[in-house]
């Protein structure tokens, strides 16, 4: 468990947190995409928990190219900086860095070669994009933000997306648009599985322990559903 460096396709390296499973046998890989605050302590703890489930987990710094690349605290000031930073990112650069992360993870001896992507909030959009454009086997998101800006192309691999019914960051109009795209992709036989769950009475951050909006019961249920999908990577040859 600790920080590593990943080589970007266009030069330079960026920080990522690596968590290894207890079993030495090769295991599926999981790219964990953090919210706008970056690789927070809570994200590291979640990564450790996913590793304990038997996955090789890498959480990259999606903001390393920015003038303020560091992790932000969940204070009013930290939130303002993080939100401004999130608006400045170049989407294609983030996708390219995600691709580099997937490649680095797949090359690790501890990884079986099968990769899933899981995004929280800001990272949810890029998990969706990965399912459409990158060489991964599955993707999921908890209260993913701005997925509606990247609906096309549709995912080509199985996805599991989770939203709070009262989430102002991911309103139900956007969730309905996502559902429509996924239904069409399935009708066109371009996607294996597409699950979208909406949790009544739940708002943003329901899956992030220790922050406002967290719902322990919904967090457990949504995580179990995601890993029901991800466990299938152990059977893929």
Q: Determine which helix (DSSP H) or strand (DSSP E) holds 30, and give its type and residue range.
A: strand 27-33
Q: Which runs of consecutive H residues, i.e. helices, occur in 12-69?
A: 41-52
The reported pLDDT for the residue numbered 7 is 97
- pLDDT, one tens digit per residue, over 200-222 is 999 999 999 999 999 999 999 99
pTM: 0.96
Domain CATH for 135 = 3.40.50.1820
Structural domain harbouring 80:
2-235
Total domains, the chain: 1
Q: With CA atoms as reference, report the closest residue to 6 among 97, 142, 83.
A: 97
Give SS3 for 183. helix
Q: Is the pLDDT of residue 157 over 70?
A: yes
What are φ and ψ of residue 90, in 5° steps? -90, 115
- pLDDT, one tens digit per residue, over 7-64 is 999 999 999 999 999 988 899 999 999 999 999 999 999 999 999 999 999 999 999 9
- pLDDT, one tens digit per residue, over 114-136 is 999 999 999 999 999 999 999 99
Q: Determine which helix (DSSP H) or strand (DSSP E) holds 163, and give its type and residue range.
A: strand 158-164
**What is the DSSP-derived secondary structure letter of residue 71?**
P
């Amino acid at each position: 468990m600790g920080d590593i460096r990943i080589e970007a396709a266009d030069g330079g390296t960026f920080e990522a947190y690596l968590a290894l499973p207890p079993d030495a046998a090769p295991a599926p890989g999981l790219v964990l995409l953090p919210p706008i605050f970056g690789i927070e302590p809570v994200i590291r703890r979640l990564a450790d928990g996913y590793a304990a489930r038997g996955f090789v987990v890498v959480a990259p710094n999606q903001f390393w190219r920015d003038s303020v690349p560091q992790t932000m605290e969940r204070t009013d000031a930290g939130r303002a900086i993080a939100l401004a930073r999130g608006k400045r990112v170049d989407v294609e650069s983030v996708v390219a860095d995600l691709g580099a992360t997937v490649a680095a993870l797949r090359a690790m001896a501890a990884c079986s070669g099968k990769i899933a992507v899981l995004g929280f909030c800001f990272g949810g959009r890029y998990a969706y994009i990965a399912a459409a454009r990158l060489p991964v086997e599955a993707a999921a998101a908890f209260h993913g933000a701005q997925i509606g800006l990247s609906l096309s192309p549709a995912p080509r691999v199985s996805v599991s997306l989770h939203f709070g019914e009262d989430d102002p960051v991911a309103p139900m109009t956007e969730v309905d648009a996502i559902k429509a795209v996924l239904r069409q992709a399935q009708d066109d036989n371009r996607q294996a599985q597409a699950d979208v769950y909406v949790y009544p009475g739940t708002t943003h951050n329901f899956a992030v322990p220790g922050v406002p909006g967290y719902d322990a019961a919904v967090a457990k249920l949504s995580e179990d559903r995601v890993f029901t999908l991800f466990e299938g990577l152990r059977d893929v040859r």
